[in-house]
Structure 1
Amino acid sequence: MRCLKQLALECNDDVIARVINDDFYVDDLITGHDDKSTLLKTCDQVSKILKSGCLPLRKWLFNSEISNSPFDSKELTLGDNCQTKTLGLGWFSASDELHFSTMFVQDATRNNNITKRTILSIISQIYDPLGLLSPSIIIAKITLQKLWLCKTGWDDPVPQNIILSWKNYINKLPHLQTLRIPRHVIGENTNVNELHIFTDASQDAYGACAYVRSYIDDPLLVRVPIKTCLLCAKSKVAPVTTVSVPRLELNGALLGARLYKQIIKSLRITFDKVCFWSDSTIVLGWLRMSPSLLKTYVQNRVVEINEITNDLPWYHVAGSHNPSDLLTRGIQFDDLQSSDLWWHGPTFLREPNLNWIHEGVPNVNYDELPELKPIKTAMIRTTYSL
């Protein structure tokens, strides 16, 4: 890794230097470009630079047909399940789809020997760096937290109610094998790309999910479909100590702001519009207030959110149209596979009319919001004597 950093440092081409610096994960190069000829030129230059440092690249794999090139793609396996792995995720290069190929070991579970150790073992087998499975994985995380609250030992039998819910959960795991997720989230030949981040919370969890909305902005074209796709998501189990729902909603908004920061840092595209969405009118009220009027817990988080998002707008979304609601209550793998709300976001994002942004925004009475600092009033009485 140190040699890679040095080769990037010595490279005179800023684009190639960035590819070497940012697109390597240990010894795997994962990069791309919309133009095939530009991509092949990048691969050639990166390959020459790394070869000069005795680090030859090999086993190239592309998601399109490459001919008459030293980077001809060669399949490494045979059959219908021909695939490779990208950072632990399965990748069907021909169809450019991601999938999860984990083969679960459930022998202990089949024998009804369900313990905290076996539950954690199965959860840890699911590798999901982008959070695409978060609505289903959060169910297992919440179950594990309940076992911690019960102070159950690693190999002690778990309560009967958890056994029933856990068996229902693992019975849905085979649906994970048939899940196919398109890797490319931006529409082809589009000229407008938007980022929409939804946040939500419940007593059990809070989270945020990001969607890319892409379309062609051309008044001469009519009925051009608008594409919306899930980009990534992040969820966390609520703290063990009791926290009010408004505070959890605020934590979800903060998670969404941090997710936005990571997306902007990682992607090389500039979004034409960025919008944040929450179904909590209290959180929206807090974000529109001066932080100095809020109590310390809320104040610190509002300040961080404002520092990250700056002047980017926050809008209200109905709970039934909020895809991050799935992150907080959880859904099973079979329902996740067919959830249009999760994979493509609310239907109003696919409407060409942007008036939906200003519709249904509730009025907020700032004086009635919780977590406000008490107003201190000093009264001075002066007595005059004759």
Structure 2
Amino acid sequence: MYVDDVLAGTHDLTTAKSARDELISALKPPGCALRKWTSNDPHILNGLPQDHLLQTEILNLSGPENTKTLGIGWNSKKDSFFVLVSTMEKKPAHTKREVLSAIAKLFDPAGWLSPIIITAKIIMQQIWLDKTDWDESLKPLTLLRWNSFVKDYENINKIEIPRWTHFNPTATIEFHGFSDASEKAYAATLYIRILVGHKIWTTLLVSKTRVAPIKTVSLPRLELCGAVLLANLVNSTLSQLHLTQYKNYFWTDSTIVLAWLNKPPCSWSTFVSHRVAAINEKVGVDNFNHVESQDNPADLASRGCTPTDLLNCNLWWHGPQWLQHEKEHYSTYLQHHRGIQTR
């Protein structure tokens, strides 16, 4: 439940109808009649009073009055999520207050738009580094970056994220996490890989980004921070899914990070030691493997890209192409890239 909205799903129509009826019965005694019903299957709505149905095809998770704040919606006909954003004005001058206010309205709880949002985070950090006062105009170079960000921003409205990952209780499940870092930021992404017979689906579940510290940190250390971010993301996400049978694979394009993870934490300096220990505590180090940079979707989130580029980016939404291969090709890739660790 989100405030007074109920969101639920089942694996078959019979169970869904039963859950619907039990929910109605449970809330009937105190006089709570559920309204604005909608579903991706019209059979769920059969028998419900017309005035209890949502009149449009869209259910805003936050309620109609908060759409501009939360900006996440669900199209029940397409069974996909979408993000609504308001127009950002491109002007010859913007104050720090205006820009930070606009950035604060960006809402992306699952990190689906991380490659876009990280660009705004980096600009925000630069504004502070410029020591611009609240009502002072941005520095010319920072203003140029902001206007470039605003120019393509509305295309976020074209992005649709499928709700269903093709999961079912009989499927073979794998989770693949990727981490990466640039000089400006580090990131982690987590995908679910579903295998049913000879069919394979991979879907982005969640991602996280962090802007690099102002104090200069070497790129290998930022890559390690990305691996820690991934470990925390995996630990927090999987603990909520209540699954028992699945495999984990974690990927980084940094061979230095893999070398650090290959030895006990006490082998390294304090900075490295603490982070290797944190990764080991959260997810262990045995499932970390090497991935080429061009196949690492977290690279997009650490460097940033435009909404137009993200719109049809298969690497971001579904992971690297080899992740979608059938068993023979996929197993060969795993064996080859596990060998890089030289454990």
Structure-2-length-normalised TM-score: 0.89
Aligned to 1:210: 190
Shift in CA distance, 168/190, structure 1 to aligned 2, threshold 3 Å? farther
- Residue 85 of structure 1: CA displacement? 0.6
| Closer, same or farther: CA 313–70 of 1 in aligned 2, 3 Å | same
Map of 1:44 onto structure 2: 21
2: CA distance, partners of 1:171 / 1:142: 17
2:59 to 84, 96, 99: 84
Match of 1:279 among 253, 271, 283: 253
Deviations 1:113-163 (A, max 9, x none): 312222222222321111000001101110110111111111111111122
**Structure 2 residue aligned with 1:262, among 229, 233, 236?**
236
Specify the code of the residue in structure 1 equivalent to 2:8.
Answer: T
Matched residue SS, 1:25: coil
Q: How does 1:14-29 map to 2 (within 5 A)?
A: 24-29=1-6
**Cα distance in 2, alignment partners of residues 279 and 56 from structure 1:** 53
In structure 2, the partner of 1:101 is 84
Letter in 1 for 2:178: F
Q: Secondary structure at the match of 1:62?
A: coil
Do the aligned residues in 2 keep the contact of 1:195 with 1:271 (CA within 8 Å)? no
- The alignment partner of 2:305 has SS state of coil
Could you say which residue in structure 2 is the equivalent of 1:342? Answer: 316
Alignment of 1:1-386 (within 5 A): 24-66=1-43, 67-70=45-48, 74-77=53-56, 82-87=57-62, 88=70, 89-106=72-89, 109-110=90-91, 112-186=92-166, 191-217=171-197, 224-310=198-284, 313-352=287-326, 353=328, 354-360=331-337, 363=340
Q: Is the 8 Å Cα contact of residues 178 and 190 (structure 2) preserved in structure 1?
A: yes
Q: Deviations over 1:11-30 (max 9, x none)?
A: xxxxxxxxxxxxx1221211
Counterpart code for 2:211: V
Does the aligned pair in 1 maintain the 2:289–2:341 contact within 8 Å? no
1:207 shift after superposition: 0.8
* 1:5 corresponding residue in structure 2: none
Deviation at 1:46, TM superposition (A): 3.0
C-alpha distance in structure 1 between counterparts of 2:34 and 2:239, whole Å:
26
Deviations 1:45-69 (A, max 9, x none): 2333344455443322211112543
Deviation at 1:311, TM superposition (A): 6.2
Following superposition, the deviation at residue 268 of structure 1 comes to 3.9
Query: Which stretch of structure 1 is more off in the superposition, 239-248 or 140-149?
Result: 239-248
Distance 1:71 1:214 in 2: 37
Letter in 2 for 1:228: T
Q: Secondary structure at the match of 1:119?
A: helix
| Residues 324 and 27 of structure 1, relative CA distance in 2, 3 Å threshold | same
Deviations 1:258-296 (A, max 9, x none): 111121122244452111111111111122211121222
CA distance in 2, matches of 1:236, 1:136: 13
The alignment partner of 1:247 has SS state of helix
Q: Classify the secondary structure of the residue corresponding to 1:242.
A: coil
Aligned residues: 330
What secondary structure, in the 3-state scheme, does the structure 1 residue paired with 2:206 have? strand
Larger Rg over CA atoms? 1
Aligned counterparts of 2:285 and 2:166: Cα–Cα separation in 1 = 25
Q: Which amino acid aligns with 1:278?
A: T
Q: Partners in 1 of 2:250 and 2:286 — Cα distance?
A: 8
Q: Matched residue of 2:164: which SS?
A: coil
Structure 1 contact 206–252 (Cα < 8 Å) conserved: yes
**Which secondary structure does the structure 2 equivalent of 1:155 belong to?**
coil
1:147 maps to a residue whose letter is: I
The one-letter amino acid paired with 1:346 is P
**Corresponding letter in the other structure for 1:47:** I
Q: Which segment drifts farther, 35-44 or 196-205?
A: 35-44
* Percentage identity across paired residues of the two chains: 37
Decide whether aligned partners of structure 1 residues 53 and 271 sit closer, same or farther in structure 2, where only a CA change above 3 A counts.
farther
Contact 1:190–1:214 (CA under 8 A) maintained in structure 2: no
